[in-house]
Structure 1
Amino acid sequence: MAFNAVLTFAVFVNGFFLMADAGDDRMMVEGWRTFGYFVFSAMWALLAFRPRQAPAVWELIMFHKIAASVLALSITHTTEGAQSAISDPWVALSTIFAYIACRGWQSWRLLRREAAPSTAA
């Protein structure tokens, strides 16, 4: 997850160059995408440092990256589809692998412990 975080942060920084070259009609899309890279970089960093203390983050990332992979693979005839058909499946698979290796589903135990009534007297 740290690897994904670092790579995504680099793409975030590159996004500012893409925004600088974007026309007015693409500025919102490029900005939204660029800021999204920062959010994903932060979520992967969170998972890298606290893999069992981030309920729902694993699942949200996996949902997004699987959905993005399906979309990219269905539009590989476009430039963006072809590029994303490589990167999005990679991060989806690496996140799924890490979820299994780190037992990411155990992060939900944190919520159950917090919701459980205290037995201390």
Structure 2
Amino acid sequence: MTVAASVNGVMVMIGASDDRIYVEAWRTSAYLVFAGLFVVVALAPRSRPGVWELIIAQKTSLIAFSVVMSDVPEARLAGWVDFVLLIIVVSGYVLCRGWYSWKSNVAVTVSAYMADSAT
């Protein structure tokens, strides 16, 4: 979904006025960053602490903002898209036990520290 949004973002950038081009470029690059984050959590759901939570926090804040800006049609549509993404991400977080990433990395870090201290 984010890859399709980035393709659409490029199309929007092509027709954007000079005063909107930077914002549209920023938005389009953010789609690619999120595509990358989704790949990270899909391939290694417990390898990077904080990635799941960062995605969840960002989607939640955008949903809240879309509710505040509900009189703007684009905000309503984007809010629904982000809501669906939030449901998918939270489901993945629960099913993959994404919170374990905090435990495994702490254990690895402490083990590595202990091994270095012993030498």
Q: Is the TM value for this pair above 0.5? A: yes
Match of 2:12 among 18, 30, 33: 18
**Residues 16-25 or 109-118, more deviating:** 109-118
Match of 1:86 among 68, 80, 103: 80
**Residues 81-90 or 19-28, more deviating:** 81-90
Aligned to 2:89: 95
User: Which entry has the higher C-alpha Rg, 1 or 2?
Assistant: 2
Aligned to 2:57: 63
Structure 1 gap ranges (5+):
1-6
1:36 equivalent to 2:34? Answer no
Report the TM-score, using the length of structure 2 for normalisation.
Answer: 0.89
Cα separation, 1, equivalents of 2:58 and 2:79: 14
Cα separation, 1, equivalents of 2:109 and 2:43: 24
Give identity over the alignment, percent: 33
Report the TM-score, using the length of structure 1 for normalisation.
Answer: 0.88
Alignment length, in residue pairs? 115
Cα separation, 2, equivalents of 1:22 and 1:108: 42
Cα separation, 2, equivalents of 1:26 and 1:35: 14
Deviation at 1:120, TM superposition (A): 7.5
Structure 2 gap ranges (5+):
none
